[in-house]
Structure 1
Amino acid sequence: MPQIICSPSKYIQGSGEIRRLGEYCLQLGVKGAYAIVDPYIQSIYGQEISGSFDAEQIPLTLREFRGECSLIQVQQITAELDRSRVEVIVGVGGGKTLDTAKAVSYFASLPVLLVPTVASTDAPCSALSVLYSESGEFDRYLQLRRSPDVVVADTAIIAKAPVRLLAAGMGDALSTYYEARACSKSAAVTSAGGTSTLAALALARTCLETLFTDGRQALKDASAGQATAAVEHIVEANIYLSGIGFESGGLAAAHAIHNGLTLLPECRAALHGEKVAFATLVQLMLEGEAEEEISKVADFCRMAGLPVTLAELGLAGVEQERLMMAAEASCAEGSPMMNMPFSVTPKQVLEAFLAADRRGARASGHC
């Protein structure tokens, strides 16, 4: 089995970069663009987006993203494309907007340029789209032919987003090293199509170290809307380091458990990274990791306002039968749980759920 690492052709990060999107598309040699844009971003930055394409004389079609990142919506958008005018797909917004843009580019066989306006997930850099049902339940992972062509992270925009989104991105990034470590031990085949590389594991480790080093200051600075060095570091960790780390390092229990949790409507209000943060603690319980390591992760979660108990996920008083349903889904055939270096049963996941919850409640002084 070969070792494989993949990444976007170009990753660009800086303040004010949204005003250069037309220039970056021009560098791709395209003559027409189709942009899928988050409605809020369109209302605030629509002129900058359109103006950047006007400056390069590139015709632009704008479509607001609404609803779910579902196969139905992706196919609908793909069918709408005017192939005589569109030569690149542009996605501007959060994770589901970007995953939709990637999926459309896949079905349309067109290059894609992505502009994350929040650093809440590591979706922008991966050759993967997470598809959901129309009602918001996890549907499938859509493996794409290649990584995005260009990723442009405008830190001035990201720093002004609600700080909860940056914290959620830190929760998503928190799992990267622990899942990559598990995949390295099991020699699992990653989303990149081979086993992990030293580079992928090193990026995943750097991602975790950056969170612990700069996370607190970044949240403080982002609360004031400032794109400081700490914010820049966390944006890179959340988007690039975590993106390459998870895709080429591998997913394991944490994301498998997240996928199972999407079946429980009680925690639908929790963000992706918030569920992943708690699921990371559950993975560490499954692995029987040392108390020192679990404490460091739990302390980080509490600092960042990430959930350490079931109640904080919206699952206060949930019946064990419901948790077992999520546990069973996390262990389904084809789940990332298969990448763990040992066999995991739904019963073990349920026990780890409860153990993580008890530990979080004790540490928070709730019992």
Structure 2
Amino acid sequence: MNLVFGSPGRYVQGTEVLAQAGTYLAHCGRKAVVVIDSYVLGLIRQRLDDTCAQSDVELHYITFDGEITADGIAGLRAAAAEVGFDMILAVGGGKCIDAGKALAHTSGRALITMPTVASNDAPTSKNYVVYDAHHQLSEVGHLLVSPRYVLVDTSLIAQAPRQFLLAGIADALTKKFEAEQCYKSGGVNMFGARPALSGLVLARECYRIIRQYAEPALAQAGTGEVTVAFDHLIEAVLLMSGLGFESGGLSIAHAMTRGLSKIPGAQQQVHGWQVAYGLLVQLVLEDRDAELMGDMLSFFQRIGLPRNLTELGVPNVDNSVLMQVAEPTLKAPHARNFSSVSGGALTCDELIGAMRALEGLTH
């Protein structure tokens, strides 16, 4: 099987990136559709208009405040069809960036992403998630090519409330353990290919940087001030995490989102919280030693991540709930990227047992 490593065309991070955006957009064309939510539009429109005017880039704004559903995407495509555009600039959080990807997928135009929060690593990746009307995951779309540019203005991201950064940390935290499992099990990465060692190395370094800088960076969140710790953490959460999962592969922690999105309480939680819980279950399945489990549970408690289903918002944890989580999880493609301690394929009983064991460790 071929090894495949993928990445955005260029990743740019700094405190003045918004003011320089026009220069980068001009490399991709002269007319851009900007997919953005109403709040962020009010926050940055003047600055974005100014930088693009200097570079002779025309902007057409489409506000997207809805959900990433088939209907939401269809409405976005209809609005964009009225504009002849060379590129798409997706600005904001995960929803707007995924909406921009969906538009790029059908139009074939260049995609530039500009995150205003670091709540996940969507800005660097080629895939996007579509939900149904009940906020249950219905499909994962894949761009043929990765974003052309990822423009990360850390001054903007430093203004966002703490909970957004915490969600991004939670999402990135899992990547080392998932990439290691994918590599160990002979699984496939997000390109349907053999995992790249480069992706594994980035996922491991991502985890190291998170453990070193998460707590001081979280203390800065919402202040607008960019410290060295904050800058390093943003690079880990957006770039290292994104490249680590796409080229290194995913495993149980992300597979569990398929099951968790089916049960009340957990389905309302952000992606980062779901996968953070999924990581703890994966570590139990791996039969990790008490020292690592204790360290991870302590870290989760200090920064405010869920350590069990109750903390994830599930009101009643019983057999039927555990089965509702386990069955869809094992049907997820990433679940195959796992080497069970027993040596065979992971079973429902093993997964339910791990969830029960985690409840016992944390109550």
Q: TM-score range by the shorter chain?
A: over 0.9
Q: Distance in 2 between matches of 1:100 and 1:92?
A: 10
Q: Distance in 1 between matches of 2:73 and 2:362?
A: 39
Matches within 5 A, 1:61-210: 61-82=60-81, 85-210=84-209
Match of 1:354 among 341, 353, 356: 356
How big is the shift at 1:223?
A: 4.8
Q: Describe the SS at the equivalent of 1:49.
A: helix
Counterpart code for 1:359? L
Instruction: With the length of structure 1 as denominator, give the TM-score of the two structures.
Output: 0.94
Contact 1:31 1:85 in 2 (8 A): no
Partner of 1:323: 322
Q: Deviations over 1:11-70 (max 9, x none)?
A: 011113122222211022x12100110221112112112222222222211111122112
Contact 1:171 1:301 in 2 (8 A): no
Counterpart code for 1:340? F
How high is the sequence identity, in percent, across the aligned residues?
33
Structure 1 residues not aligned, in runs of 5+: 362-367
Q: Is 1:23 the counterpart of 2:2 in the alignment?
A: no
Partner of 1:214: 213
Q: Distance in 1 between matches of 2:134 and 2:24?
A: 35
Contact 1:176 1:208 in 2 (8 A): yes
Q: Which runs of 4+ in 1 moved over 4 A?
A: none
Structure 2 residues not aligned, in runs of 5+: none
Matches within 5 A, 1:305-324: 305-324=304-323
Counterpart code for 1:296? D
Contact 1:309 1:358 in 2 (8 A): no
Partner of 1:340: 338
Q: Describe the SS at the equivalent of 2:174.
A: helix
Counterpart code for 1:36? V
Q: Deviations over 1:230-274 (max 9, x none)?
A: 111111111100000001000110001122101113223321111
Q: Distance in 2 between matches of 1:8 and 1:301?
A: 31
Q: Distance in 1 between matches of 2:353 and 2:233?
A: 33
Q: Describe the SS at the equivalent of 2:138.
A: strand
Partner of 2:250: 251
Partner of 1:38: 37
Q: Distance in 2 between matches of 1:304 and 1:269?
A: 20
How big is the shift at 1:2?
A: 1.0
- Calculate the aligned-residue CA RMSD, in Å: 1.5
Q: Distance in 2 between matches of 1:305 and 1:97?
A: 26
Q: Distance in 2 between matches of 1:19 and 1:192?
A: 34
Q: Which moved more, 1:152-161 or 1:318-327?
A: 318-327
How big is the shift at 1:303?
A: 1.9
Q: Distance in 1 between matches of 2:348 and 2:64?
A: 36
> CA 1:13/1:256 → structure 2, altered by over 3 Å: closer, same or farther?
same
Q: Distance in 1 between matches of 2:322 and 2:95?
A: 26
Q: Distance in 2 between matches of 1:174 and 1:49?
A: 32
Q: Distance in 2 between matches of 1:164 and 1:255?
A: 20
Q: Describe the SS at the equivalent of 1:267.
A: coil
> CA 1:163/1:91 → structure 2, altered by over 3 Å: closer, same or farther?
same
Partner of 1:364: none
Contact 2:26 2:56 in 1 (8 A): no
Q: Which moved more, 1:258-267 or 1:218-227?
A: 218-227
How big is the shift at 1:176?
A: 0.2
Instruction: With the length of structure 2 as denominator, give the TM-score of the two structures.
Output: 0.95
